Amino acid sequence: MKKMILISTVLAASLMAGQIGFKEAPRAERVMPESGKILSFNDAIREASECVVNVSAKKRIRQNIPPAFMDPFFRQFFNMPYGRAMPRERIQSSLGSGVIVTSDGYIVTNNHVVADADEVRVTLPGSTKEYDAKVIGTDPKTDIAVIKIEADNLPAIEMGDSDRLKTGDLVFAIGNPFGVGESVSQGIVSALGKDSVGINQYENFIQTDAAINPGNSGGALVDSRGALIGINSAIITRSGANNGIGFAIPVNMVKRVATQLIEHGKVEYGYLGVSIGNLDNELKKVYRHKEGAVILDVEKGTPAMKAGLRRGDLIVRVDDTPIKDASDLKNAIGSVPPGKEVTLTFERNRKTKSVSVTLAKFPDSRIGGGDEKGFVEGLALQTLTEQMRRQMGIPEDIEGVIVTDVKPESAADKAGFMPGDIIIQIEDTMIKKAGDIEKAMKKYPGDKRVYVNRRGMIKILVVR
């Protein structure tokens, strides 16, 4: 016992003597805010709050009447006389926020707030007047949409620079959570450049602990000056309410996408034509660079193949932008318009090389889908690629266009199309790419026979 007391005494003495090299924080003085003054950010966010609007969208959804409901016995049993009209349509409503970006009525919001809406209305802060809004353009890849109302001299928000943000910066989320009216929540920038969240195709999120709840979507994330630094987009939650993990689309991405939507009604992304992956611990052993996007495959006829890129090349830079992983490369290439030349820096056989590549337009191989009337209403198609063949085990001798989605109760659904079907022929025209379908539809008027390969079996469907 005496020995233990002696050892403890010696250890305490050593610590007091500073013999163990702990780094001590300097003494700090505790202070009160200046006497008689209240610390407030009201002035900073007041103007920004005037630029955040309420957005309500309505979509009419057709409902099919089950055949049993038309049976006379069923209707008589449930006292449903034939003279009484049965509901065939229901209204789906969504509520979100938007940010006025120009004084003549252009408003940025989330794509998921207004997607496929039949009616969009906007209410300005402090007002009960509703404005009919026109959807100027939507971009599902980034979850950004632009709508417009007919109004003049509106307050437009000041734009910040999301590239200059730092973790720990004070931020405010402004929106209309749960439809209770305009409100502001405060937090910090928790992280930057968050990707692989699985929300959008192009992700470079600002993560914040400022409360972002349902209805905040499309609202503003502003800094302590009141400048817009992001558009609130999503939360990670199990309960449906905020758990301190919210995401916003950086304002620099918003400006680029919104500009294209306003000017062209759509967004065009640069296309390189490679399948890419990240470096794991084993792969890092065979490369000099420890960050980058490794090329897994190069598609034929693409800018990447024309530039001489190969499987195994590690791309580490696009122009002056460093590439840390596959998501960085996807965002960097996607942010460059088609037709523009970029310089790629890459490692091959432990040597650093560079090459100039002129990017192509991102393939738009979807024909029809949603409520669009393309080949068949409600049908989404994509040209069969080598990567899809490998992923889905489709033999090399099968050529065609694959059905990626069929909208329930659409014309495509009623015609008998199913996801995974491969359209190989329309009448006497062989189908190898999406463009062949358009030619066949013009060539053969009236009802047409469509041959599909369904899990190795050939089916014939008839479309008009």
Q: What share of the chain is helix, strand, coil (3-state, %, to 5)?
A: 20, 35, 45
- Provide CB contacts within 8 A for 327, sequence distance 6+: 195, 196, 203, 204
Type of residue at 82: Y
Burial of 391 (0-12, 13-18, 19+ CB in 10 A): exposed
In this structure, is the dihedral angle defined by the CA atoms of residues 317, 320, 323 and 326, taken in order, positive or negative? negative
Instruction: Provide the β-strand partners of residue 204.
Output: none
Say which of 112, 185, 223, 289 is annotated catalytic: 112
Query: Does the annotation count 112 as an active-site position?
Result: yes
DSSP string over 387-428: HHHHHHT--TT--SEEEEEE-TTSHHHHHT--TT-EEEEETT
Question: Which listed residue (56, 97, 217, 233) is catalytic?
Answer: 217
Tokens representing residue 452 in the block: 């599909």
| C-alpha to C-alpha distances, 188 to 81, 109, 170, 320, nearest whole angstrom | 61, 22, 4, 29
- Distance between CA 171 and CA 42 in Å, rounded? 13
Give the Cα separation of 435 and 427 in Å (integer). Answer: 15
Place of tokens 């192509």: 360
* CB of 279 closer than 8 Å to CB of 290: yes
Helices marked H in 190-286: 251-264
| Active-site option among 56, 139, 143, 195 | 143
Specify whether 297 is catalytic. Answer: no
User: Burial letters for 190-227: b for 16+ Cβ neighbours within 10 Å, e otherwise?
Assistant: bebbbbeeebbebbbbbbbbbbbbbbbbbbbbbbeebb
Q: How far is CA 297 from CA 152, 294, 312, 323, 368, in A?
A: 51, 9, 8, 18, 29
Contact 307, 357 (CB under 8 A): yes
Do the beta carbons of residue 248 and residue 208 sit within 8 Å? yes
Q: Is 264 a catalytic residue?
A: no
172 close to 222: Cβ distance less than 8 angstroms? yes
b/e code 338-365 from CB counts within 10 Å (16+ = b): eeeebebbbbeeeeeeeeebebbebbeb
φ/ψ bin of 93: left (φ > 0), alpha (ψ from -120 to 50), beta (otherwise): beta
For residue 379, what are the β-bridge partners?
406
Residue length, the chain? Answer: 464
**Catalytic (active-site) positions:** 112, 143, 217
